[in-house]
Structure 1
């Protein structure tokens, strides 16, 4: 049975082994013993004594007792947490650093700890190691950095009414290059756009799981997943083409990643729902007081989410209607959000919306209570900042169900179909009494008796894989490209 404590895992085992090893060395030197002398006393080779003194072996009780006897001390004295010399503390810290994952990730050879290595040199190495650790921890703070980046990006979108004129222009030029005459962009035209940009399309069954598509610029190929063949592939393909057109480099941080994703999705959406066709269509619908996200979806043959995003792009700049948009998980947690109509989203102390739980009386939550999921859901909600009208729909994804909602102030609801809805709720959030605190009777009845098990979202704890801001497995991507390039060369 080993004597080293195991209460905190391998790091503490390492610390005990190193500390005890240094204490054994100190006692040996005090008694003017060589490693050979101590080795003979415990019936071990001198090399094994060095291993023990360097903390590279965990000692068992019997070995510790023999060492204590050979050094003329007690087992308790050998194990007691007496302070070590400054030099021993530095050597232990350097040894621990070299055994850690950060030092190993640098690909450096182990640095022999000799007396010729000065205290100052060890301190410098340790400070550099600590600074590298601090920077890695800062970069690995994925949730915190993502929240800050989301908050900044949402503020930028609000300032420009979520309208990117330069991307609308790029979309119009691309559509003009293939002779698109207005209306929905067909799958045939999508393929023609790929060919115009110099790419052929290939559907494969071995696309790496961390990717939606792979663009091989060297061979002018775009690889798409085989299992989606026969369905609407426009979205994934247009996102790949948009990223190529925008010339986006590898993102350096989460701000870059989110900005690039927004721009790529915007350009793809502007190709599927061209401004030149969408604005007249929406203007006519507004004049008839028949604005509808569902109609926009059906007219351009896109997903509800694409139609909702596209509506927020065009509504304020071309229709004069401020709006808000949310994507909310069935648990009530906000996944995406945008507003320029002064609706008050729940936020954390830093102003971040994503990850917060929306009021249960909002349309985004109430839509989950309705069995009929084909009929458009409309709702009026009286909020502390005024009354808002909202339309919501539910979509399914691999990670659950989400509600997609587009809303506006009550005064602007007159332009929308469903404005006469009789569904009306009252929300007093952020007042905790609205929906964040249980009824006093329920709280009293269940206090100390209810112990739910949380479904923890792993993304709250996990950083992006080391070396990649996007989380894409680069090794798998390069292996994929090598494999297909080899097949291409053979043919």
Structure 2
């Protein structure tokens, strides 16, 4: 609360206490005004918290209503009703009420108590929802952590979503190999939707679904046969298949994102076909994410994540998955194989630095980035084998790593690699503590300018769909909605 808001709140309380004691003495505004020598209109403004009385006037009012000045200045509301009036006035002067564009409702003595209680209750609920919708980065990390641990406990396998996706893709005509765009379109048609590609999709959205007219709007195709547009369409379809309601919290929003991403992966790499492919490769002791990727025409990251859904449940292989930026920060991770993922005190892993000796970072130094690289890493939790593929986006380079304990490496291509590193992280002596001579030389002389990530300071975007500009979305739907039929038209 700002000093200005605090002062305003104090004036409201003061005004209500004056009104309470005035009416308790049976005085009207006119009568009190005559006794203290001021106009009734000024007293009305004071009682409504819109004018601060001079100290001399305050003493006169206190004497007129037969209480002490400290009694008038206390922060405590004089009665239950007065407390409600103060709370209503405070709410209607706040920034949240200003966004509604509604005129304030005066809390006069003529307002029934039940109406006053209902209005205050509504404002409390508005404030609760607004507060809940503004998730801080800390709250987002907690929600992410809860979801990751929940998935880990289930080996990252969600059977209900698997069943929905398998049934829909089969009904749409899928047999094997990559899922075609036409098959995706038929899946949308099963639900009564048409997929439409537009060039003016709102900037704050990836897709927009028009529930009223049965349309799913996607961006225009930029890469023929690309995985991205199929995944976007399937994620939009997933909301309908999984019966999602509008998110009521940021945690709810995150859970829905996890579920629709899982559904899309299940459709692009259907369980029956994917497991058959992987089991065949396991029997040949030639499992490789790059082959899984190519067999279903998806990105390396999508294939790696999908592998974690199926590897433990169907192949009895514990695994871990990492997406790491070229600065060493962990962007996304999962592990049910005992790999000690770096985490902060809340258990969150996002943004934490992975050891420089892990394959996820060593891979950036490989010259040949067209294929996977392999490595064994000795850690305090045991030895792990990993395959890593690097890539790049406009935001910089990244690596995708899939790994498993030493005992399961026998099923994978690349198990015969001679590349081996040791990591003692989280012991800072492993790779984070500077060498003695360098620290002694440069500590007093170095003055780096840190690259600040502003998002760590700001609250996450508010709203049921965080970051989405509702006004822009509604203008978009107005532009693209089919014209209403004129009278007499079929």
TM class by shorter chain equals: 0.7 to 0.9
1:459 is displaced (CA, Å) by: 5.3
SS of 1:152 mapped into structure 2? helix
Q: Does 1:367 align with 2:371?
A: no
Equivalent in 374, 380, 391 of residue 376 of structure 2:
380
Q: Distance in 2 between matches of 1:87 and 1:114?
A: 22
- Aligned twin of 2:427: 431
Q: Does 1:225 align with 2:225?
A: no
Q: What are structure 1's unaligned runs of at least 5 residues?
A: 1-9, 37-45, 59-66, 69-81
Q: Distance in 2 between matches of 1:154 and 1:214?
A: 27
Task: Answer with 366-375 or 314-323: which moved more.
Answer: 366-375
Q: Distance in 1 between matches of 2:188 and 2:290?
A: 28
2:133–2:250 CA contact under 8 A, matched in 1? no
Equivalent in 242, 245, 256 of residue 252 of structure 2:
256
Q: Deviations over 1:73-108 (max 9, x none)?
A: xxxxxxxxx9995268979x8777654313434666
1:341 is displaced (CA, Å) by: 0.5
1:205–1:227 CA contact under 8 A, matched in 2? no
- Aligned twin of 2:443: 446
Q: Distance in 2 between matches of 1:463 and 1:306?
A: 26
SS of 2:481 mapped into structure 1? helix
1:342 is displaced (CA, Å) by: 0.9
- Aligned twin of 2:409: 413
- Aligned twin of 1:321: 317
- Aligned twin of 1:476: 472
Q: Distance in 2 between matches of 1:483 and 1:489?
A: 16
Task: Call closer, same or farther: CA 1:130–1:489 in 2, change over 3 Å.
Answer: closer
Task: Call closer, same or farther: CA 1:53–1:424 in 2, change over 3 Å.
Answer: same
1:179 is displaced (CA, Å) by: 2.7
- Aligned twin of 2:23: none
1:382–1:388 CA contact under 8 A, matched in 2? yes
1:325 is displaced (CA, Å) by: 0.6
- Aligned twin of 2:204: 210
Q: Does 1:101 align with 2:65?
A: no
What is the TM-score with the length of structure 1 in the denominator? 0.77
1:378–1:423 CA contact under 8 A, matched in 2? yes
- Aligned twin of 2:159: 165
1:227 is displaced (CA, Å) by: 5.7
- Aligned twin of 1:39: none
- Aligned twin of 1:195: 189
Task: Call closer, same or farther: CA 1:113–1:254 in 2, change over 3 Å.
Answer: closer
- Aligned twin of 2:73: 86
2:289–2:307 CA contact under 8 A, matched in 1? yes
Q: What does residue range 245-284 of structure 1 map to in structure 2 within 5 Å?
A: 245-284=241-280
Equivalent in 461, 474, 488 of residue 464 of structure 1:
461
Q: Distance in 1 between matches of 2:47 and 2:252?
A: 49
Task: Answer with 301-310 or 129-138: which moved more.
Answer: 129-138
Q: Deviations over 1:199-257 (max 9, x none)?
A: 22211112112221122233222211126374522111121222222121112223322
SS of 1:472 mapped into structure 2? coil
Q: Deviations over 1:290-341 (max 9, x none)?
A: 1110111111111111101111111112211100011222222222211110
SS of 2:231 mapped into structure 1? helix
SS of 2:388 mapped into structure 1? strand
Task: Answer with 82-91 or 323-332: which moved more.
Answer: 82-91
- Aligned twin of 1:292: 288
1:485 is displaced (CA, Å) by: 1.3
Q: Distance in 2 between matches of 1:412 and 1:406?
A: 12
1:55 is displaced (CA, Å) by: 9.0
1:385 is displaced (CA, Å) by: 0.4
1:363–1:378 CA contact under 8 A, matched in 2? yes
Task: Call closer, same or farther: CA 1:125–1:449 in 2, change over 3 Å.
Answer: farther
1:469 is displaced (CA, Å) by: 4.3
1:346 is displaced (CA, Å) by: 1.1
- Aligned twin of 1:240: 236
Across the aligned residues of Structure 1 and Structure 2, the Cα RMSD in angstroms comes to: 4.1
1:325–1:338 CA contact under 8 A, matched in 2? yes
SS of 1:372 mapped into structure 2? coil
Q: Deviations over 1:2-40 (max 9, x none)?
A: xxxxxxxx94456679989999xx9xx9x966379xxxx
SS of 1:437 mapped into structure 2? coil
Equivalent in 31, 34, 40 of residue 38 of structure 2:
34
SS of 2:430 mapped into structure 1? helix
2:324–2:332 CA contact under 8 A, matched in 1? yes
SS of 1:250 mapped into structure 2? coil
SS of 2:426 mapped into structure 1? coil
Task: Answer with 391-400 or 305-314: which moved more.
Answer: 391-400
1:15–1:96 CA contact under 8 A, matched in 2? no
Q: Distance in 2 between matches of 1:274 and 1:204?
A: 28
1:18–1:54 CA contact under 8 A, matched in 2? no
2:132–2:249 CA contact under 8 A, matched in 1? no
Q: Distance in 1 between matches of 2:6 and 2:255?
A: 44
- Aligned twin of 2:298: 302
Q: What are structure 2's unaligned runs of at least 5 residues?
A: 19-32, 56-68
SS of 1:226 mapped into structure 2? coil
Task: Call closer, same or farther: CA 1:97–1:86 in 2, change over 3 Å.
Answer: farther
What is the TM-score with the length of structure 2 in the denominator? 0.77
2:330–2:352 CA contact under 8 A, matched in 1? yes
1:203–1:229 CA contact under 8 A, matched in 2? no
